[in-house]
Amino acid sequence: MQTMKKSFLRRRIDSFGYAFTGIWQMLITQHNVWIHLIATVAVVAAGVALRLSTADWIHVIIAIALVWSAEAINTAFEFLCDVASPEFHPLVEKAKNIAAAAVLICAVAAACIGLMVFIPYF
């Protein structure tokens, strides 16, 4: 029984390692992720400086998570497309453009949320 628990625990720890590796791979391969990182740091710093309410922090955290999740899915999708079709294919290009559009939609929504949250503090 003890070895099953260790095995289960080890697998959970490994899962976190894979996730952190994925974040690192996004950071080193995707230029737009650096923009998201800078924006995230700036928004969190502004939130701390302005002492956002708990409700406002919830909105900000959801907006940040939305953008990062969309970027992660987009990045994974791009890598899969590159494996599935190493040569140019117009449908792969369309699929990649649509995945990038999803990130843009999330980023615009996050910016709108940010404006609604932060403007009252000024």
**What are 51-72's pLDDT values in tens digits?**
999 999 999 999 999 999 999 9
Distance of alpha carbon 1 from alpha carbon 110, whole angstroms: 47
More confident residue, 5 or 42: 42
**In degrees to the nearest 10, what's the CA dihedral of 99, 105, 111, 116?**
-150
CATH architecture type of domain 31-121: Orthogonal Bundle (1.10)
pLDDT at 2 over 60: no
Which pLDDT belongs to residue 4? 60
**In degrees to the nearest 10, what's the CA dihedral of 15, 20, 24, 26?**
70
